[in-house]
Structure 1
Amino acid sequence: MLKDFGRQSLAGLRILLVFTVILGVAYPAAVWGVGRTVHHQTDGQPITTDGRVVGSAIIGQNFTGEEWFHSRPSPNDYDTLASAPSNLGPSNTDLLALIEERRAEVARTESVDPSDVPPDAVTASGSGLDPHISVAYARIQVERVAKANGLGVAAVRQMVANNTDGRSLGFLGEPGVNVLRLNVDVKDAATQTAG
């Protein structure tokens, strides 16, 4: 009986060592190796300008001022440590009042009718950190951004088109415009025009 216990203990120890090597060394090394080959996907997709990182292509940030394309609203002020929705339901009076306040503000800022303000201009995403806006929201901002930066409207429209990502897998969701990439292009074009 003691002999059987020793054999079973030795077998258990061997299994422990094998799984430790597989799951504790080989698997993490394989994941790290794959991550290094698709580096742009695993490093947070940083966007650089003038040699310094200005943000991530996959995390939204707030832009204020006439010269920038504005992002979607965020219930957490783009705090990555507090990524969450507001949890206010569609019939919540506070949310409805906030949406109407945002709609009026966007309509005034972009000189459009309130009925022309797209939904993503007045509602936050589920994470509050969505880096994209709809093509419709980008389009209503083109004239303001072009004027504030001394750029042609056609050139800014082309920048919007250049920074529009298609549907996921070709058929899921709607096309979206990456706000940070677009604003980096606008800044570069404005700098070249001024210089």
Structure 2
Amino acid sequence: MGKLVRQCAVLFLFMTVVTGVLYPLITTGLARAMFSGEANGSLVRKDGRVIGSALVGQAFTEAKYFWSRPSATSPGPDNGASSSGSNLGPTHPALTDAAKQRMAALRAADPTNTRPVPVDLVTASGSGLDPEISPAAAEYQVGRVARARGLDPAKVREVVAANTRGRQLGVLGEPRVNVLELNLALDGLR
């Protein structure tokens, strides 16, 4: 019996070292060597300092910036440590009220815009951290951003088009615009 217990203990320690130490170290090392940016959080830097991640949405509230999707994380919006959706169904009154308030805020920020508000500007994503909006949501905001920056709307549309990503492999997902990268590109205009 003692021999069996000793064999089990040795096997347990061996597997702990292999699967709990060696494997994670090797895969992390390979990931950092082959995909450095992605393995380190897809961090976005400006002037040498980290200003965000291309994978996590951020709240932009100034008129000169494109606004992200609403965030449903807690205790506050865009909390990367607390990914969550609102878990409200499509007929829940609180979801309807929140969407109406968000539409009113968008209309107040750009009263001359009479187009329908794209759904991704008034509803949070499943994770509550979506860093991207649809090209329609970006187009909806072009007028406000162009006026606030004193730019020709055609120039702003060019920047949106340059920052629009297509479907993955040509068939997966939808075209999308990363809001942080788009706003940085606008900041880079002279």
**Match of 1:97?**
97
**Match of 1:29?**
25
Q: How far did residue 130 of structure 1 move?
A: 0.6
Distance 2:149 2:155 in 1: 11
Distance 2:88 2:8 in 1: 52
Q: Deviations over 1:45-73 (max 9, x none)?
A: 11111121111100001101111001111
**Match of 2:46?**
49
TM-score, with length taken from structure 2: 0.87
Let me know the Cα RMSD of the aligned residues. Answer: 1.9
Q: How far did residue 97 of structure 1 move?
A: 2.0
Unaligned stretches of 5+ in structure 2?
none
Distance 2:10 2:31 in 1: 30
TM-score, with length taken from structure 1: 0.85
SS of 2:60's equivalent in the other structure is coil
| 8 A contact 2:44–2:50 mirrored in 1 | yes
Larger Rg: 1
SS of 1:100's equivalent in the other structure is helix
Distance 2:85 2:125 in 1: 7
| 8 A contact 2:44–2:53 mirrored in 1 | yes
After TM superposition, which residue ranges in structure 1, 4 or more long, deviate above 4 angstroms?
A: none
Q: How far did residue 109 of structure 1 move?
A: 2.6
Q: Deviations over 1:118-161 (max 9, x none)?
A: 10011111111110011001011112212211223222112111
SS of 2:185's equivalent in the other structure is helix
Unaligned stretches of 5+ in structure 1?
none
**Match of 1:65?**
62
